[in-house]
Amino acid sequence: MIPVAVKPSITITLDRTIDETMIVAVLHGLEEEGIPYQLDTDKVEDIVASAYMASTQSPLSVGLAVFRDELVIHYKNLPSHSPLFYIRRLGALPEEEKRKLGCNAARLVKGIPFA
């Protein structure tokens, strides 16, 4: 059997209660930078732990988690309790700021300065 290649992507864990439309601008930021992503729906109890777990599962070492009105961006090489970004009022952010969060997650993968 020929092994199936897994496309490198950022892993995003959404709590089961989250509507994907809440993070559309974040996803646009990832797409703008040309970095693919994979959405996983799961029960999120600890958003920081979920984001860290997503980063360890991502071939690109970057993971995001979304729960309630919060978004966390984590990098596999950081301590598990110390995410790169922790946004507590995601819904209150302008769409442009949400897009920048996606761009910055992608730029972490690319190793270039944040927007």
Reply yes or no on whether the pLDDT at 69 is more than 90: yes
Neighbour count for residue 89 (Cβ, 10 Å): 10
Cβ neighbours of 42 (radius 10 Å): 13
* Mean pLDDT confidence for 51-77: 97
- Six-digit token string for 96: 């442009």
Whether the Cβ atoms of residue 107 and residue 113 lie closer than 8 Å to each other: yes
Q: For 78-101, what is each residue's pLDDT tens digit?
A: 999 999 999 999 999 999 999 999
d(C-alpha 18, C-alpha 2), whole Å: 36
The mean pLDDT of 16-39, rounded to a whole number, is 95
CA 36 to chain centre: 11
Domains defined for the chain, CATH in brackets = 10-110 (3.40.50.10150)
Structure tokens at 99: 């897009």
**pLDDT bucket at 19, cuts 50 / 70 / 90:** confident
Cβ atoms within 10 A of the Cβ of 83, count? 23
Residue 45 burial by CB count (10 A; 0-12/13-18/19+): exposed, middle or buried?
Answer: exposed
pLDDT, tens digit (0-9, with 9 covering 90-100), for 2-13: 665 568 999 999
- 93's tokens: 């952010």
Q: What is the pLDDT of residue 7?
A: 83
